[in-house]
Structures are given as structure tokens and as C-alpha cells.
Chains A and B, each alone.
Chain A
Amino acid sequence: MTDTLPRTGATVMPGGPAEGMLIEVRDGDLSTQDMNLNIGPQHPATHGVLRVVVDLDGEKIVRATPVIGYMHRGFEKLAEARDYRQIMALVNRHDWLSAFCNEIGVAIAVERMMGLEVPERAEWIRVIMAEWNRVLNHLMFVASFGLELGAITPVFFAFREREDIQHLMESATGGRLHFSYTRVGGLKEDLPRGFLAASAQMTKTIRVRVDEYRDLLTGNEIFQARTKGVGVLPPDVAIDFGVTGPTLHATGVPEDARVTEPYGVYGQLDVPVPTYTSGDSYDRFMVLLERIDASCHIIDQALGRITAGPINQKLPKVVKAPEGEIYVRTENPLGQCGYYLVSDGKKNPWRLKMRTPSFSNVQMVPYLLEGALLSDMIAVLGSVFFVVGDVDR
């Protein structure tokens, strides 16, 4: 842990002030101790109940250990005692910011096992809803990232937009956060009148508003000073940790399940995957902003191609998946969400394993925080996008 100074007998404290300032430690004369600080589970910066135990040398983080599990609700076990219709309402809740995207993952798994064909209109509506949900999610993280860096205005702007989109989704699904709109084989009900026109209008509004965030934040010199070069994640490390989604795209790896393994009707659409190269907090934030634009682009395409028709398959009252197993991955707003479904032919799954993006993203926190300053911890935690419910499940 120590290097030898040119002067005999003196040692260097590792993790001292960054720019080569040496603290001499002679035995017994001066010894400094790292301070142990518990950040969370109740702390304004960890949105949710993530707890990070950090060892601090001054303001510098020597070691950071995320402690998870404060929000473990046993979803995988609960799912074994529910039928598939009920599971829709359950998977809504592990990542509450990507409720609709979670739903279609489970629905696709069951449909593929049963060999069901989903009506085309339902597929288009699923795409539109999933992308609106993605915009909702990204707006939330744009807002909270600004707030954590001390910029209080973006949060109000982003929630204004979130409110509009939530009204739109509420008009179709009846829910603001937990939509429960998907059914195995289709959707709960058709869109209300005027939804498509309102969607088209909304994508225009959102594009304008995203430019406002760019003006407010990304051009700001303080914002750049706080985020550029902070929490740099190399692409190989990201892949080793299983990081996906915007956090991975910021490192320059364009892996996106909508493109590489298209589900639903994504294969017929042009899906832009914005990537950056340096993998720091700034790039992660930029990817997030550009993904909002990309989602608007996808919604516009889907609005042009949606057809009239049924939105549901006629199914028996109790849906049973045939015996077997399947793994389905979907591109959720925060990264790739996988459902591994094992069925023994009954109305409940025998096992439903969830692979959630937030869990993989949080694994990287110790890697990114080591050697960072306490203030950088906020910039890093805010930009390694995760939802604590999605980590603990």
C-alpha cells in the first residue's frame, strides 16, 4: 500500500491529495485514519434506499461498497404464486420507472412459449407505449442528475413534460405509473380517440423541450467541469460487469436489444442507438438526452405505420404456458431486462428469474468510485442509471 519516498524512512500515504502532495508518516508521529461514512440508506443523493459505505481520506474515496437489499420484495418468488395476468401487475413494480417495458418482456416470453401471434395493431401500440415509457424514464434521470449536481431548475422542467406524457398514457391505460396495459396475446383495450394525434403533437413538444435542457445544462461550464472525465468507464470493463443501456452506450458499444435481437415490430423500424466514446458522466448524460430524441423518432415512425384491427387474441380464461423454458430480453430504458421463464404447464410459472439492468449497473459503483472525490460520487451515482427497486427486486 505504500511507496517509498526518496528520503529514507518516509512513506507516502496512498490516496492523499491528488496532485503529488506527499504526506510523510513517521511511526508514531503522525498517523491519519480513514473515515468511514455511511451514505444511505436514507440519503438525498441515492434516490431510493441504496446504501454506500465509503472509506474517506479527507474528501477522497478510498473504498466504496454498495449495500443492497433494503428494498427486496421477493418478486421472483411472488411470481410463482400468481397467474400470468397477475404477473403483469407485479413486474410493473420492480422498476417502477419502466413499468410498461417490463410488462411486454413477460408478455413476449409467454406468447413465444405458447406460439401466439399478437395482432399487428397491438404490436404497434406496444412500441408507442414502450417508447413513451422510455421518454418518461429518461426525463426522470435527466431531472435528478441535474438536481444532484445542484441545478434545481431542470427537475421542474422535466416534471412538467413528464406530467404531459403521463396524462397521455393515462388516457389509454388508466395508470400513471403502473400501467398494467399489456395482456398475454395483446393489450387490455384499444387506444382512446385522439391518442395518436396527441402523441404526434407531443413528440414535437418533447424535441423542443430537450433542446431547452441542452441550453440549460450541457453547455454550462460548471456542469461540464463537474461531469467531464468523472467516473470514466472503459468499454471492456463495462462488458465484463454486464452493464447495458445508456451507461454502456456512453462507452461506445452500440449493443441494443431492439437492434441486435429485435422483438415485436422493432425489426421493421429504424432504431437509432446514440453512442459516445469516453464513457464519463457527461457522455452518459448526453446519451440519455439523445435517446429521448431517438424515442420520439421511433414513435413518429410507429404513428405512421399503425393499422386498424383487433388488439387482442381470443384466449381461454386461464392462460397456461406449455411445459418448457425460455429467455427473453428486451431493451428497457435503463438497459437490458431479461426474463427467464420456466413453466411446468400450470397457470403459474415454475420459476421466473429476472435479469435487471440496474443490478448490473450498480455493481460498477465500487470500480467507478475508487479514488474519486465525495462530490464526484454524486455525479457518478446520478449517471450510472439505476432504480433501487430494480436492483433489489
Chain B
Amino acid sequence: MESLLNVDGFMFAAAVTIALKLALVVVFFFTVPLGVGYMEHKGLAHMQDRLGPMEAGPHGTLQLVADGIKFLQKEDIVPAAADRWVYKLAPAVAMLPAMFILVTIPLGPGLFAENLDAGIFFALAISSVSVIGVLMGAWSSANKFSLMGGLRAAAQLIAYELPLVLGAAAVVLQVGSLSLVDIVEAQADFQLFDTIRIWFFLPHFVGLGLFYVASLAELNRPPFDMPIADSELIFGHMTEYTGLRYAFFMLTEYAGMVVLSALTAILFLGGWYPWPGFDFSIVPFGVAGAAVVGFAATIGKILALTFIMIWLRATFPRLREDQLQRMSWLVMIPLALLNIVVVAIIKVVA
């Protein structure tokens, strides 16, 4: 499938295409996470019997914009003992991978920047780069709390990258392609036992569970937020950061939520299809209409998945680091391997 964003037919078409794609990726990166952040403010508040932000904008909708402006005005403090360059670079290293992943993510039919043949591989590989930024920030802060947070984050990444990748690998095995667009298209036609049209969440329910739990751990979201455990480690690797650099770390977290929810939606929940086997040719206004409907479906799924993350945050206490490791190595990874074996056998036999 070709990207709708490819423009053609005049002199600087290639340059315009790239500029257009870049602009859309950046706009998406800076707006949707804010929406999720607002949902977190309000969702948590209502679950906890309070109102949440009410002052900035109607019903507090502009709270995060106000926060952003506030962060902009804050002094950028670098601790005296910090490794200055590494310290300053760390938020960018943590943030950029989340933006790069967006390049491959299809949000609607034809609505993606680049359909990489190795899409899922690229997305998962680059999402792990983010932890380097966390480690850089942790190490260079010259703060023991930061350091412990960074080490916890690294240990957590190693433990949870495996179930994440293995959960996705089972889907890839079934589809026979690493391209995210192909995976979505495969789900549109997939029929369980050749009768029921259903997305992969049913046949791959084990993979879905593993992938979602592992992505929570990878994002340091509760109940797996040990690296930033505020009652133990102050704020983990972000302890010393102020102002805009701190805001970048926070934006990374919310962008990560969006990106990994999008991947979950694409791998298991049929991507841009509102329901299995939806015929996009019935949508008026041709490809543009189809793109809009697809985009709405994807965003809806992303918001639903991030809402569950918020819900979990309101419900669960935090696990302990050793309990988390035990859960990964003794339960999730064996389960993920078993899942792959079962999928492979079914693929070969059926």
C-alpha cells in the first residue's frame, strides 16, 4: 500500500512529501500525548472522587498547555557534580525514539509516513533506545536516587523486552510479514476456523496479555513504576531535572503510552478497521473519507488502551523490583515461548 502523503507531479515533490510527513508526525507527537495526559488527569480524578483540573480552559482542558508554559519558564538547573553534556542530552535521547516509531505506525488506510518492510522490528528496536536516555540521565545526575532508578529501569527493560518481542513475534509468524500495514490487512480477512471474522486478540489472547503487560513495564507505568517509585526513589532518573528537560521526560512517557497502545491496536485489535471485515469502499469521499474513518478507529482504540493504563494506575499498588523480575523470567518469558511454539504448530498444520 502506498502512503497517501506521497505527493507527486511537480519539481520539489520529494522534498514536499518529506516535509509533510515530518510535520504530521511532529504534530501528532505533540498533540495526542497531551490528550492522553488530560484523560489521565480527569480519569484519575473521577475515579478518586475529585474533579481534577478545572481552571485552565473549559473544564481544565488547557491544563497541560499551561503546564508546558510553566515548564518553559523554569530555571534549567544542572547539578554541580553532574556530567553536563550527558545530563543535558539525556532527555532528547529518551524522547526522540518515541517520535521515530510514529514514522512507521499506520493510523488509517494509507495514513502513515513510511511502510517499512521491517516495521514491527524497527518499532520495537527503536523503542528500547529510549532506556539509554534514562540511563544517561540517571548516571550523569550524580545522585544516588537517580542512579538506583536508572539501574532499575535498565534491569526492567532487559526483563520485559523479551516478552514484548516474543508476543509480537507470534503475530508476525502467523501473518508472515513484519510490515505493520500487512499485519492490519491480514486481520481484516482473518477468519477463525474459517467461519468467524475476528481480529487477532482472540486467537492470540496470550500474546496480547504478554504484550500489554510488558509494554506497561517498559513504559514504567504503574504497577511497574519501580524506576521512578516516588515514595522510594523520589523520582528515579528524573529527580534532578527541572523545567523543559523534565517536561521532555514526561512527554516521553505519554508518547510512549500512545505509541505502544497503537502497536497493541495494530497487532491485536485490527488497526484502522472499525470492525472486522469493514468495507472501506462504502465510505463517501473516496480515499480521504476512508482515511478519516480509519484514523478515528485507530485513535479510538489507542484511547481505550491508554484508558486501561490509567485505570490500572488508580487501582494497583507498586510491585517490588525482585517480584517483577521473577514474574518476567519465570512466568512471562516461558509463556511467550510456549505461545510461539503453539502458533508455529498451528501455522504448519492448518
**B317 on interface, CB distance cutoff 8 Å:** yes
Contact flags (1/0) for A88-131 with B, using CB distance below 8 Å? 00000000000000000000000000000000000000000000
CA distance A150 to B312 in the complex (A): 11
**A148 on interface, CB distance cutoff 8 Å:** yes
Q: Which of A196-204, A218-226, A292-300 contacts B (4 or more CB under 8 A)?
A: A218-226
CA distance A216 to B145 in the complex (A): 30
Distance to closest chain B CB from A111 (angstroms): 42
**Most chain B beta-carbon neighbours within 10 Å: one of A45, A146, A150, A217:** A150
Q: Which chain B residues numbered 199 to 230 have a C-beta less than 8 Å away from chain A? A: 222-223, 225-226, 229-230
Contacts of A31 in B (CB 8 A): none
CA distance A303 to B11 in the complex (A): 89
Q: Which of B45-53, B61-69, B133-141, B176-184 contacts A (4 or more CB under 8 A)?
A: B45-53
Binding site for B on A (CB under 8 A): 18, 35, 37, 43-45, 59, 146-153, 156-157, 160, 216-217, 220, 222-223, 225-226, 373-378
Q: Which chain B residues numbered 92 to 145 have a C-beta less than 8 Å away from chain A? A: 144-145
Contacts of A375 in B (CB 8 A): 226, 229, 232, 318, 320-321
Contacts of A217 in B (CB 8 A): 317
The 7 closest A-B pairs by CB, nearest first: A150-B318, A156-B48, A149-B317, A151-B317, A148-B231, A45-B231, A375-B320
Known contacts A37-B144, A59-B148; is-contact A222 B316 (Cβ 8 Å): yes
From A156, A220, A376, contact of B317 by CB (8 A): A220
CA distance A374 to B319 in the complex (A): 13
Contacts of A44 in B (CB 8 A): 230-231, 234
Contact flags (1/0) for B310-330 with A, using CB distance below 8 Å? 000111111111110000000
Known contacts A35-B144, A373-B320, A373-B322; is-contact A152 B314 (Cβ 8 Å): yes
Contacts of B44 in A (CB 8 A): 152
B317 touches A226 (CB 8 A): yes
B48 touches A152 (CB 8 A): yes
From A146, A156, A373, A376, contact of B50 by CB (8 A): A156
B313 touches A378 (CB 8 A): no
Distance to closest chain A CB from B97 (angstroms): 26
A378 touches B232 (CB 8 A): yes
CA distance A106 to B144 in the complex (A): 45
Q: Does more than half of chain B's interface fall in helix, strand or loop, or is it mixed? A: loop
**Most chain A beta-carbon neighbours within 10 Å: one of B144, B145, B314, B320:** B320
Q: Does more than half of chain A's interface fall in helix, strand or loop, or is it mixed? A: helix
Contacts of B231 in A (CB 8 A): 44-45, 147-150, 378
A222 touches B318 (CB 8 A): yes
Contacts of B145 in A (CB 8 A): 37
Distance to closest chain A CB from B190 (angstroms): 34
Contacts of B314 in A (CB 8 A): 152-153
B320 touches A150 (CB 8 A): no
CA distance A148 to B318 in the complex (A): 9
Contacts of B226 in A (CB 8 A): 375
Interface residues in B, total, Cβ within 8 A: 28
CA distance A157 to B315 in the complex (A): 12
CA distance A212 to B47 in the complex (A): 13
CA distance A111 to B93 in the complex (A): 69
Closest chain A residue to B222, Cβ basis: A150
Distance to closest chain B CB from A21 (angstroms): 12
Known contacts A222-B223, A375-B226; is-contact A151 B232 (Cβ 8 Å): no
Contacts of B315 in A (CB 8 A): 151, 153, 216, 220
Contacts of B323 in A (CB 8 A): 225-226
CA distance A217 to B318 in the complex (A): 12
A150 touches B317 (CB 8 A): yes
Contacts of A35 in B (CB 8 A): 144
Closest chain A residue to B318, Cβ basis: A150
Q: Which chain B residues numbered 283 to 342 have a C-beta less than 8 Å away from chain A? A: 313-323
Q: List 26 A-B contacts (CB under 8 A).
A: A18-B322, A35-B144, A37-B145, A43-B234, A44-B230, A44-B231, A59-B321, A146-B317, A149-B231, A150-B223, A150-B225, A150-B317, A152-B44, A152-B313, A153-B48, A157-B48, A157-B49, A216-B315, A220-B315, A220-B316, A222-B316, A222-B317, A226-B318, A373-B320, A375-B321, A378-B231
Closest chain A residue to B233, Cβ basis: A374
Closest chain A residue to B47, Cβ basis: A153
Q: Which chain B residues numbered 224 to 256 have a C-beta less than 8 Å away from chain A? A: 225-226, 229-232, 234
Distance to closest chain A CB from B159 (angstroms): 15
Known contacts A35-B144, A152-B314, A156-B49; is-contact A222 B319 (Cβ 8 Å): yes
Closest chain B residue to A43, Cβ basis: B234
Closest chain B residue to A216, Cβ basis: B315
Contacts of A378 in B (CB 8 A): 231-232
Distance to closest chain B CB from A58 (angstroms): 9
Closest chain A residue to B313, Cβ basis: A152
From A148, A153, A374, contact of B148 by CB (8 A): A374
B319 touches A226 (CB 8 A): yes
- If A44-B231, A375-B229, A375-B232 are given as contacts, then 7 extra A-B residue pairs at C-beta distance below 8 Å, sorted by A number, are A44-B230, A147-B231, A151-B315, A222-B316, A376-B320, A377-B232, A378-B232
